[in-house]
Structure 1
């Protein structure tokens, strides 16, 4: 009997299903049908757990995060790689199927990816520092599996436009391994933190590339659904090229500044990039997006990205502005909010559901906006404990809401 392959990749139920082995039934489960399903869920869960443990460390209720990484490096590593990079991988492995019309991860490879991801998380707590090389091997294996299944369909289809994402993820992999090597092997926590911050700036580049593609398109199509027909406005090529160059040079300048003294401050490049992002937004009909939650949250996260880069640049020249504080505007309000919005949209769209978020998710978006404001302003007022605890608590609420709403969706078959 021929079997029907559903759009999500799973096999439709048939009388033969009862004869299939439990392992085959498990591999055909909807959760393993596309990369976004398990990776979005795992990333959200780990972000909640990491921040709960981070609050425990700050309050003294928790004394250690295991024998391996320095506490602050562990916190940064897990939020950047265990959370943000995992979501980016889930999104790109899903999107590449649309871009190339080819499948990416088969269920068995998906299980391997999940197992490696979980092994890295657990190894930080269970393995001794002397086994740091093994942790590097686990993390490197995860990245290589990701890159293989991302690059293969892009290369086979000669999808040159998206080669850049293979390059960006390769750079993230190298930075990730360098972070672990610096702290676990070289015992240089300061260098590890610098590399994590470099990766956060690399995320601003990724957001700029993806945002430039999807935000105008999502805005036009999303507003068309409610009867608002907009005339597309193309961003000038010179603006796109200048923004890309300033962003690249800003990341490179920040990275190099740790090792050698530069003749110029990377702050100028960050300031310039932030202003160029604002200019770019003027072509995107941002004010019209206020009527659709999945749109205004995207536009707002991109605006916060621009604002964060401007404040990051100003921190080089204004002593009152702390670099780390400005960086958290980007990590919470830009990366966090855009991830939450994109996870919500992708989880609805790729499971055949209407692109309308519930009131719980609107509340989740609001929590991240408040978390961004609290983290920045309370530090300016030197209320450090309140800044850390309030922003972390709001983040936890936001992603618990996501898990509550999307757990059944991510486990369920695609709507026909």
Structure 2
């Protein structure tokens, strides 16, 4: 065998083993990159929404030193989603570097940077610029450290889209830190820009869904279909796909600056229709796999969110902007992250030959509850009810959301119990 052939073979073997092996002598939680972040994000999602709702219905103005609504947006958009995206990208590093992903004490330290920002820093930071700047620097520690680690691995053989996803993740982290600083300074930081910070962060998130999910969904769809149906799934490199992805930041910008009128509404609606047509071309109705179908449904919420948001910009519109915002956050972001997280967790259990019947059933229940929560939350926002009348719908939506993420947390933990059971069986054998 020639030396070049041998090196190629060794590199391929390394990539395969890196993606499947787990380091020995490391606890289950920190043996695989996505585990602490997925579990932490699930627990944060399950606990923070009921806490915010209790504050909202109880008339509390602040949570942990921040306005209640700003804390809710910060934790559910920037805290939750940073953990999910970071864990996913870290788990993908063997695909381009050929080395085992971060694990052990390094992974524990990285997770600690994310977790420490979730602690209740009620330091009256809005009255002290120095404290606000210190907390802003702390908010930047996790996204910048994670980005530097990803860039070190990506310089080997990462594809172009991976580089783009890493830089979008870094921008998303900077946006989250700026949002928290703006909240602590009572809006003084971003007031001159006249932008809606939530839609800036949502724009980053939806762009990642369109970029990464736009390749993942049709790829998994082809794999799940019978050979005679695979060719019916449209390719993802056409002009329609590029136009939909490029138009998404523009639509988010229109919503962030509070555009109104027919021109702004038409621009957002056009991008929404592009993404819905993109989804139709992936032929999701041919599927029999509920896990892959859940990815289609989550991507569908992306298009629906833009359609609802664009509709709300029309003169005399009967729908409020919050309907599109929650279709994006609860439906698209929540649905896509849950579908990817649960699928990745169960795929590792299946690769190790573990039974996962209970995991699968709980995962499907979590997906059903999450999409029910999205419907209830959009209904509460779109019916134009008073804050008092929306109470039952908000409580039902929050209960479904919290229970959904609790189920997913159990799904993730079942992998540890089954892994220990298999190891004990192997030792007895």
Return the TM-score normalized by structure 2.
0.83
State the match for 2:118 in structure 1: 121
Stretch deviating more after TM superposition (246-255 or 306-315): 246-255
Deviation at residue 394 of structure 1 after TM alignment? 0.5
Stretches of 4+ moved more than 6 A in 1? 261-264
Q: Is the 1:53–1:62 Cα contact (8 Å) retained in structure 2?
A: no
Cα 1:144–1:390, aligned 2, differ >3 Å: closer, same or farther? same
Deviation at residue 380 of structure 1 after TM alignment? 3.2
Cα 1:72–1:408, aligned 2, differ >3 Å: closer, same or farther? same
Cα 1:396–1:157, aligned 2, differ >3 Å: closer, same or farther? same
Q: Is the 2:96–2:158 Cα contact (8 Å) retained in structure 1?
A: no
Q: Is the 2:38–2:83 Cα contact (8 Å) retained in structure 1?
A: yes
Report which structure shows greater RCO (CA 8 Å, sep ≥6): 1
Q: Is the 2:276–2:300 Cα contact (8 Å) retained in structure 1?
A: yes
Deviation at residue 145 of structure 1 after TM alignment? 0.8
> What is the DSSP-based 3-state SS (H/G/I as helix, E as strand, rest coil) of the residue aligned with 2:99?
coil
**1:377 partnered with 2:379:** yes
**1:93 partnered with 2:90:** yes
State the match for 1:15 in structure 2: none
Deviation at residue 62 of structure 1 after TM alignment? 6.4
**Which aligned pairs between 1:14-413 and structure 2 lie closer than 5 A?**
25=25, 28-60=26-58, 64-67=62-65, 69-125=66-122, 128-129=125-126, 130=128, 131-157=131-157, 159-185=159-185, 187-188=187-188, 194-224=196-226, 229-231=229-231, 232-235=233-236, 237-255=238-256, 257=257, 265-289=263-287, 291-317=288-314, 318-351=316-349, 352=351, 358-381=360-383, 382=385, 383-409=389-415, 413=419
- Post-superposition CA distance 1:367-389 (Å, at most 9, x none): 11211111122333313212321
Q: Is the 1:37–1:410 Cα contact (8 Å) retained in structure 2?
A: no
Unaligned stretches of 5+ residues in structure 2: 1-16, 424-429
Unaligned stretches of 5+ residues in structure 1: 13-24
Q: Distance in 2 between matches of 1:254 and 1:63?
A: 26
Q: Distance in 1 between matches of 2:61 and 2:204?
A: 32
Deviation at residue 126 of structure 1 after TM alignment? 6.0
Cα 1:413–1:101, aligned 2, differ >3 Å: closer, same or farther? farther
Deviation at residue 274 of structure 1 after TM alignment? 1.1
Deviation at residue 9 of structure 1 after TM alignment? 4.7
Cα 1:412–1:38, aligned 2, differ >3 Å: closer, same or farther? farther
Q: CA RMSD in A?
A: 2.9
